[in-house]
Amino acid sequence: MMYWYGHGGGWMWPWMVVGNLLFWTVMIVVAALILRAFAQRPGPCGSEHPTWGTPPPPGAPGHGRSAEQILGERYARGEIDEGEYQRRLATLRSSPPGPTES
């Protein structure tokens, strides 16, 4: 099929193979980049970490926040009212840190 009217010769097929390989390589790379971009969307409430995947590393921002900081953030977002905030804050400040014995 590559010998139309005596033109082309046998040297055309390697270029077609290389062209096809290059085309499909580019298509796969573009698809992978698009999928990666969508997978890196921020999580709920605008957090910096994606909603799925590996957990954040230990040195990442937001890791190791204190219970009072988390409680304050929940109050600031309106998840809890002032009374509940004050009760929980008092409980946090009155109980010693660490696991409790049963």
Task: Report pLDDT digits (tens) over 18-48.
Answer: 999 999 999 999 999 999 888 866 555 555 5
DSSP string covering 46-93, please? Answer: G-SSBSSSSPPPTTSTTTT--HHHHHHHHHHHTSS-HHHHHHHHHHHH
The tokens describing 59, both together, are 């040195």
CB within 8 A of 100, min separation 6: which ones? none
**Other CB atoms within 10 A of residue 84 CB:** 13
Task: Report pLDDT digits (tens) over 42-95.
Answer: 555 555 555 555 655 655 555 567 888 899 999 999 999 999 999 999 998 887
